[in-house]
Every structure is written in structure tokens, then in C-alpha cells.
Amino acid sequence: MAGSKGKQKTVRDMVLSLGVIMIAAAVIYVFLPHEDKEPDIKRVDYRIELLTARRAAAYPVAAPEGLPTSWKATSVRFDAAKSDAWHLGFRAPDGEYVTVEQSTQKPGAFIKDASQGAKATEVTEEISGRTWIRYTGGRYDALVLKGPDGSTTVVAGTGSFAQLKTMVGALRMA
């Protein structure tokens, strides 16, 4: 009989320990934030960088005009030392990402980087009097325009081709 009291005490201690652990887990769950909503992405003002790029670049720099305010500019940069590289990123109304990239870098390497490795297709799109080549890829799809001045413009992202075409249609090159 002496042995059974020790086993009962051990089982009781295990059940009590499990209860304490469950209470601690419940308290942690209640007090840790676990929101499922998307974070608020800050809108950037790209006007100053655009003016700088348009003064310094060896090609007409592209930026959208007349996009609805539901398109949110999220990133911008111009690097004159790196083949006049222009980048302007947007969050589309449905949360997808669309970017405008331009450069005088060799087109092959530039397109590969800007489109995240997308491959050229036989499909072209006539948008605003310019012929854009459609690229498809695993991560990004893209529309590519090779300029007569040695520049390449890539509109790429996770957005649909309809969203890419919306961006291309809004681009003004100056």
C-alpha cells in the first residue's frame, strides 16, 4: 500500500503542473497581439526625387500622372552613379506591388533584375503609342520598353497584367 500513495501523488503533481502550464499559455495568448489585418504602409512623396532624376538622367524619366489615390507610392530612388537607375514602387488598390524601373544599364541584366527573372514572351502590348514586350515569371510579370535613347523601362510586380497596363498607361516620360 505504501507504493500506491507515491504513484497517486506523482499523477496528481503532473495534472497540477499541466494545469499551471495551460493557465500560463492562456495568459500569454490573451496578452500577445495577434492582429490579422495588414500593416499600414506609409505613402512616400516622390516629387523631389522625380525632379532630380529628370534633371540628371540621360533619358526621359517615367512617372505616373492621374493614377487614383488608391495607388500608394511606397518607395523611390534615383542612382546616377548606377546607370541612371530610377525606381518608383507602388502598392496597387488590391495590395499587389507594381514598380517602375528605368536604367541605361545593359538591357539583358537590367530586365532580369527588375523583373525578378521573368522571361520574354512573343506577346506585345500597344499602350499610349508605344510597343511594350510582355514578360512572365514566377514571382513578377512585366512589361518592357526599350527606348531609342539607350534606356530600358520595366513596369513589373506581383500585380496582374491589367494593373501593369494601368500603370503603363499613366506613365509620362519627361
127-140: pLDDT as tens digits: 999 999 999 988 99
CA distance to 17, 103, 114, 123, 152, per residue, from 88 (Å): 56, 12, 11, 25, 14
Q: What angle do CA 36, 38, 44 make, to 5 degrees?
A: 165
Give the confidence band of 39 by pLDDT, cuts at 50, 70, 90: low
pLDDT tens-digit series, residues 48-93: 999 999 999 999 999 999 999 999 999 999 999 999 999 999 999 9
Higher pLDDT, 115 or 41: 115
Mean pLDDT of 10-23: 88
pTM: 0.79
What does the pLDDT read at residue 6?
A: 61
CA distance to 4, 20, 24, per residue, from 12 (Å): 12, 12, 18
